[in-house]
Each structure stands twice: as structure tokens, then as C-alpha cells.
Amino acid sequence: AAPSRGWNDFACKPSADHPRPVVLVHGTFGNSVDNWLALAPYLVNRGYCVFSLDYGQLPGVPFFNGLGPIDKSAEQLDTYVDRVLAATGAAEADLVGHSQGGMMPRYYLKFLGGADKVNALVGIAPDNHGTTLLGLTKLLPYFPGAEDLLNAKTPGLADQVAGSPFITRLNAGGDTVPGVRYTVIATQYDEVVTPYRSGFLSGPNVTNVVIQDKCALDLSEHVAIGTVDRVTFHEVTNALDPAHATPTTCLSVIG
């Protein structure tokens, strides 16, 4: 579990201002701590109860998660959300995911009953319609030692390739399910999910955002947009609490 730097505190009770706990869902090769060293405190400091899970572990592979079959990872998310709801007493959670972590929860929402337990899903640079193995190799500079895992035999990677049986099933019959608000935040400098607009969703309850439309100076690529980009973090808070949204601009960096 993550250190108790204000998040993953199962004694946290949501406030009237922020009545839903936020569950953070890391990406490929990520984990429940390192992916969220900036966003988790950002949300905690704004009054949210914040939680993060590890998922997609492979036997004999330490450190690197998000590599198992994605339908099984969605089952891990299902179990974790139930645990968070039981601890907080909340009826619903909000999910914020990066990369695979923005796409995988859609399987939970669509096939595992998650739509009844989730109010909103915010995907940061999610590969909602898949990507390429070449695109996924662009993650390697950020995860030294992971080279041997990046091949088509690794289930969590094979599942993310555009046209895979998993991606095809995920999107068959529509991108979204009723009762959940979806937000996608993409960057035009994404080198992993290509083309970057392929992360966008179609549906009546969807907001698709290119972060450079909010701040043209934002140079965040695939990893930075989810891990360090405060312009994106501000847009995340708008998605979590649209009734109190304020404009996201380049000045959001200091907000």
C-alpha cells in the first residue's frame, strides 16, 4: 500500500463538498505510489479522500504492474472499489486513471457492474481504442529494466494493441455506459497513444479535452501529463466537481 502521505487512508470520510472518494488507477509498468506522487497530494490538499491500487501483477515480476490480462485487472479494480466504498460509506466513487489506467476501468463499468458504483471516470492519455506495440516501447525510458517485458507475449500489452480481441470487445456496441460521466484529457505530444485523439470517446456523457487547447505552452507528453502536469490536474478537479469548475489555463500551474 502507498505511504500515508494523506492518501490511502481508509479512515478518511468524504466531506459534503467532496462526497465521493477518488480512486487513482496507474498505467502500464506503473504502481500505486510512483504514478501519483504529485496528483494524489494535489487532490488530498483540495479535500478529497484519495485511494490508489496496484493491479496487473505478473508472477515473478517485481516493481512493474499493469502487465496482466486486462479483464483480470478490471476484476482487481472491482474488488478495490468495493473496499473503498465499504470503508468510506460512500455510495459511489470517482475514478481517475492514466494511460491503461484510464482505459481498463471502462471494462469494469461495462461488464463487471461498475456503472452502479462509479459517478465519473477521468482518463488521462488513455488508450481507449488501443495503440501499437511500437507506441508502448516509448514507455521504456521511464521504466529502466522493463525492456524484457515489452513484447506481444505480455498479456497486458497484447490486450492494448489496436484491433486486439480485448479492445474490440471493450468498444463493441458503444464506448460508454449510461449513468457515468466520462472525461478524456489528451496531449498532442503523446508518443505512446497514437494518434493522440484515438483516446477520445464518443457518447452523450463525454467530455474530450486536448490539454494544449487550455494551455498552448503545455509540452507534456504521455507520462508527464499524468504524473506532473498541474494544468491537467486542474482539469481533473473540474471533471470531478463540474459544479464548481473554474477555467483551466497556463496559470493553473501555480493554482
Residue 3 pLDDT exceeds 60 = no
The range of the structural domain enclosing residue 101 comes to: 22-254
Residue 86 lies in a domain: yes
Q: pTM for this one? A: 0.97
Residue 11 lies in a domain: no
Residue 67 lies in a domain: yes
Residue 207 lies in a domain: yes
**DSSP one-letter string for 62-98:** -S--S-S-HHHHHHHHHHHHHHHHHHH--S-EEEEEE
Number of domains present in the structure of the chain: 1
172-231 pLDDT, tens digit per residue, is: 999 999 999 999 999 999 999 999 999 999 999 999 999 999 999 999 999 999 999 999
DSSP 12: -
How far is 4 from 16, CA to CA, in rounded Å? 23
Residue 61 lies in a domain: yes
Antiparallel, parallel or unpaired: β 118-124 and 22-25: unpaired
Residue 209 lies in a domain: yes
Return the CATH number at 170. Answer: 3.40.50.1820
pLDDT of residue 5: 64
How far is 161 from 127, CA to CA, in rounded Å? 9
Residue 17 lies in a domain: no
pLDDT of residue 151: 84
How far is 107 from 113, CA to CA, in rounded Å? 9
pLDDT of residue 167: 98
DSSP 229: -
Residue 159 lies in a domain: yes
